[in-house]
Structure 1
Amino acid sequence: MDVQVITQAIRTLSSDALVIAAAYKSGGETKKELTLSPTATELDQTLNGLIQDRYRAGEFKANPGELLTLHTKGQIGATRVIVVGLGSQEKVTSQTIRRASSIAVRHLQNTGAKQIVLGLAQEKVETQTGIQAQVEGALLGIYTFRIYQSNEQTSSITQIQVLSTEAQKAETEQSVRKGQALAEATNFARTLINEPPNVLTPTELANRASSMAKEVGIECEIFDREKIKALGMGGLLGVSQGSAEPPRFIILRYRGGAEGDKGLALVGKGITFDTGGISLKPADRMDEMKGDMGGAAAVIGAMQAIGQIKPAINVTAFISTCENRPSSTSYLPGDILRIMNGKTIEIVNTDAEGRLVLADALSYAVKEGHSTIIDLATLTGGIVVALGSLMTGLFSNDESLTQEIIAAGQLAGEKYWPMPLDDDYSEMIRSDIADIKQTGGRQASAVTAAKILENFVGTAQWAHLDIAGTSYVDSKKPYQEKGGVGVGVRTLAELAIKRANNK
């Protein structure tokens, strides 16, 4: 997408649509007053108070996501103005602007608009933060996945322009480039999640990671089955043995920091399709299990963004990828698998495969000496029961890392909720015949899954993000397509950037 920064006066800029935003603030117990940014105020004056007039008439109330279309009839260069509601001025955040931009642009791409101008800046949000959020929202909103439809329809929008003052143009261009990198990386992750499993096999996931790495200038190394076996990755080998598709272990390295500094390690679960194995899942919604590599997609997407933004930090990603299928060669309940770090796991349910492939990846990260490790996985249905689709469960052995992730999520517009890791939960995964059991049962299932992973992080500062509820949406929303969300991409990238800037 062509994204540009412009400094033209509102009256003279030419476009198919100018997008601005409006909020309201309380003027008493029941009365609400429309609040416009300086840009929107200038536009309203140019249009002889038309926005305020439509508000007083009750046609537009500035509720979150509400749209008002004004046809300018030559009064300004833009053919039309889209006013998008932000809701209460007191509650406006960068995420409010991100979502409003997405809603407006999704609407415009269905109206034939080709060139649009974004001017959603609000005084409540720092200018450059708002600029970045506008761009992210627009590019996230444009995204569709229809490449397998014979009558595929692409967005009509070919250019996005972002309003800026001349004094802030250089700074705005930097914010635009960052927002574009983050959004495009998120959309890359969404496409990986949305691809059908007969296309996105473990080998194809590795190939796409490799191609991305070449494009952004980061290193990529891919291990085949023989190398995985030589390393003793019993979890990845065990889960993959029921499939004709071979497993892959992917390593991506971004070197932006000091030589020898391990920096940040990211680990992703990459089950490209999960039938549940011998412990077969119900048929209902099994098609969505193509998205069981959402953690891998997020990590790969984050590495793309990091490679483009280039923060002064070293970041390494480790992705275990395979299929989990039932066959005459599948691993079985009752089996014992030995993970790369030497610990053994008693298999109870072959549908709890994610923790097995993550255990090997975490062990590899520890072997390399990484002291900060974050893993992402669509790991448990239990976290969906606990938190639904609004928040990602965050398990960590370090409070400072917990707060870092939550803060990075706030910048990215993604929510994380701290979950317990009390030692008493370890009793639920104690095995009589191995070091640990693969599952502790239905009670506290998200917690016990995290406790299993804890066995493979050594002394590292570690966080586990269970994205089972937030990685995929099953219905279209005004600001988002049905399918992969790409959750975690922007959070991980913002965390890396923040750490680099704080050095």
Structure 2
Amino acid sequence: MSFTAKVVTAPKQRSHCLVVAVYEGGKLSPSAQAIEEAGGQLGALCKREGFKGKAGQTLLLLSPTGISAERLLVIGMGKAPVSANDYRKAVDKGLLALKNTACKDLCLCLGEVSVKDRDAQWQARQVAELLGAQQYRFTRFKSSSPDDNFAPSKIVFGCQETSQVNLAKAGLETGAAVAKGVALARELGDLPGNVCTPTYLANEAKQLARGQTKLSVKVLEEKQMKELGMGSLLSVSAGSEEPAKLIVMTYQGGAKSAAPVALVGKGITFDTGGISLKPGQGMDEMKYDMCGAASVLGTMKTLIELQAKINVVAIVAAAENMPDGRATKPGDIVTSMSGQTIEILNTDAEGRLVLCDALTYSARFKPKAVVDVATLTGACVIALGSHATGLYSNEDSLAEALLNAGEEANDRAWRMPLWDEYQKQLDSNFADIANIGGREAGSVTAACFLSRFVKKTPWAHLDVAGTAWRSGANKGATGRPVSLLVQYLLNQR
């Protein structure tokens, strides 16, 4: 799929489909007005079909008079000036309206749309990201291909002014790269646990680094982790035939002297709950318990695509949590890499057990900030639902940077408390810390647990249990929070 941007004259633009905007109340955009003047039909057709220009409304016309394109897609933008949400909704619904067409060549005259607090670069990026999201299909285990024919190969973002062209091209490049990273994260999440094992994730990281000068990968095996004292992480894989892996990806895109940002991903490739066995209903979705790791890999994919000028260390703690005669039992006490002892009261609170050793390990890279990503707690789903990622941080400026990146990327997070009062819930009679803190504020106490392993380093924890995948008829990984992470990293350059 190729993307470009240029100034276009709508009636003369040749393509399989020309896309123009109409605002609420029937007000035509400049390109739509030009088509109306050339053919004299557009306004009447909109009126006839009851098209009022509401955000997300669409009208597809075949072979209309007055234009050189084969089709004309009119999309409603809502009230002008357009909000960022209405713009994304309009573009998403517009692309969806082409799902059953054979269009290979699209021209979207959207550079002329005024979006509040956004420029042509942002607008073009949304087109590339949304198109990428709609093109994603998980068909690896399907015996037949999907029925829809929509697979465009050429996308033109139509600009109103020459000054917008370079901005739009940059936005298309970023959006296409983000879309590839999101697609990788979704594919890894959607893979079944019998395929996507810790070893598979390690091989995927190695594949990303193949032929790349900026990315190197090191994989620590269980023997090496034992030598490092990672008793917490290894307690999770103790009951599995699949060996745990600590995957370390080093991306050197900035100056050698610049401190990196560290990303840490939870990679539980399947979570039965261990001895604290989960209920059978819905357990198939526990293949998604590695979506934190998937998003970290997806983010690295995007950085490679963009050849971003920043230093990043990505660490994936990968393990499978299974019940077995050798499995960790409730009440067992393990020693983490940090030296802190942990009483494991519930083996289903395993994500924090792999993350804490990975967080300790990240300190050797002397990062300027650490961001961990994990499908950590069902409590976060209860608190925030599926719309916002839970954000916890020991540093206000880091939290603000991530929140702003989420708003900009439309991959929003919401900051939750990380107060000392919650730490008492993790007290243990027999060890330095317990791995659960009771029913109250479960997502908060999980973050409090992790906070004990980062010391003074600026750190943030993203709980994506509610945002990393969807259940029900549209079950599948979302690829979140790749967009948020990429935006945050790009803002650090």
Report the TM range for the smaller structure's normalisation: over 0.9
* Distance in 2 separating the partners of 1:373 and 1:35: 48
8 A Cα contact 2:124 2:169, kept in partner: no
2:96 equivalent to 1:103: no
2:387 to 387, 390, 396: 390
**3-state DSSP of counterpart to 2:301:** helix
Write out per-residue CA displacement over residues 416-437 of structure 1, whole angstroms, 9 at most, x where no aligned residue: 1110011010010111111111
Structure 1's 420 and 366: CA in aligned 2 closer, same or farther, altered over 3 A? same
2:447 equivalent to 1:450: yes
**3-state DSSP of counterpart to 1:20:** strand
The equivalent of 2:17 in structure 1 is 17
Write out per-residue CA displacement over residues 311-347 of structure 1, whole angstroms, 9 at most, x where no aligned residue: 3321111110011111111111011121111111110
**Partner AA of 1:199 in structure 2:** V
The equivalent of 1:182 in structure 2 is 178
The equivalent of 1:325 in structure 2 is 322
Structure 1's 197 and 83: CA in aligned 2 closer, same or farther, altered over 3 A? same
**Partner AA of 1:157 in structure 2:** A
1:366-385 mapped onto 2 (5 Å cutoff): 366-385=363-382
8 A Cα contact 1:109 1:142, kept in partner: no
Structure 1's 130 and 367: CA in aligned 2 closer, same or farther, altered over 3 A? same
1:43 to 35, 50, 53: 35
More deviation in 432-441 or 64-73? Answer: 64-73
**3-state DSSP of counterpart to 1:220:** strand
2:151 to 149, 157, 174: 157
* Distance in 2 separating the partners of 1:455 and 1:43: 63
The equivalent of 1:27 in structure 2 is none
CA drift of 1:193 comes to 0.6
The equivalent of 1:197 in structure 2 is 193
**Partner AA of 1:409 in structure 2:** G
8 A Cα contact 1:101 1:120, kept in partner: no
2:66 equivalent to 1:71: no
* Distance in 2 separating the partners of 1:268 and 1:451: 17
The equivalent of 1:30 in structure 2 is none
Structure 1's 482 and 12: CA in aligned 2 closer, same or farther, altered over 3 A? farther
* Distance in 2 separating the partners of 1:215 and 1:133: 29
The equivalent of 1:4 in structure 2 is 4
2:137 equivalent to 1:144: yes
CA drift of 1:475 comes to 4.6
- Gap regions ≥5 residues in structure 2: none
What TM-score, normalized by structure 2, do the two folds share? 0.94
**3-state DSSP of counterpart to 1:88:** coil
CA drift of 1:171 comes to 3.3
* Distance in 2 separating the partners of 1:195 and 1:35: 46
Q: State the number of aligned residues.
A: 486
8 A Cα contact 1:216 1:304, kept in partner: no
More deviation in 124-133 or 430-439? Answer: 124-133
* Distance in 2 separating the partners of 1:360 and 1:393: 21
8 A Cα contact 1:99 1:137, kept in partner: no
**3-state DSSP of counterpart to 1:34:** coil
CA drift of 1:439 comes to 0.5
**Partner AA of 2:90 in structure 1:** A
Structure 1's 294 and 265: CA in aligned 2 closer, same or farther, altered over 3 A? same
Write out per-residue CA displacement over residues 154-210 of structure 1, whole angstroms, 9 at most, x where no aligned residue: 753131232235554333222211111011111111111111111111111111121
Write out per-residue CA displacement over residues 108-140 of structure 1, whole angstroms, 9 at most, x where no aligned residue: 132222222222332124222111111111111
The equivalent of 1:28 in structure 2 is none
**3-state DSSP of counterpart to 2:199:** helix
CA drift of 1:292 comes to 0.6
Structure 1's 240 and 22: CA in aligned 2 closer, same or farther, altered over 3 A? farther
Write out per-residue CA displacement over residues 24-68 of structure 1, whole angstroms, 9 at most, x where no aligned residue: 2xxxxxxxx234433333334334251x33444462233332221
* Distance in 1 separating the partners of 2:348 and 2:263: 24
Between the aligned residues of both structures, percent identity stands at 39
More deviation in 82-91 or 267-276? Answer: 82-91
1:482-493 mapped onto 2 (5 Å cutoff): 482-493=475-486
* Distance in 2 separating the partners of 1:429 and 1:340: 19
The equivalent of 1:88 in structure 2 is 79
CA drift of 1:15 comes to 2.1
2:227 to 222, 227, 230: 230
More deviation in 438-447 or 10-19? Answer: 10-19
CA drift of 1:6 comes to 4.4
* Distance in 1 separating the partners of 2:211 and 2:381: 35
- Structure 1 outlier segments of 4+, above 6 Å: none
**3-state DSSP of counterpart to 2:180:** helix
2:159 equivalent to 1:169: no
**Partner AA of 1:212 in structure 2:** L
8 A Cα contact 1:271 1:321, kept in partner: yes
* Distance in 1 separating the partners of 2:86 and 2:188: 27
* Distance in 2 separating the partners of 1:34 and 1:73: 18
Structure 1's 385 and 139: CA in aligned 2 closer, same or farther, altered over 3 A? same
- Gap regions ≥5 residues in structure 1: 25-32
8 A Cα contact 1:106 1:142, kept in partner: no
More deviation in 441-450 or 253-262? Answer: 253-262
* Distance in 2 separating the partners of 1:252 and 1:393: 25
Write out per-residue CA displacement over residues 240-292 of structure 1, whole angstroms, 9 at most, x where no aligned residue: 11110111111111112221322211110001111111111111111111111
**3-state DSSP of counterpart to 2:23:** strand
Structure 1's 230 and 40: CA in aligned 2 closer, same or farther, altered over 3 A? farther
Give the RMSD, CA atoms, in angstroms. 1.9
8 A Cα contact 1:116 1:157, kept in partner: no
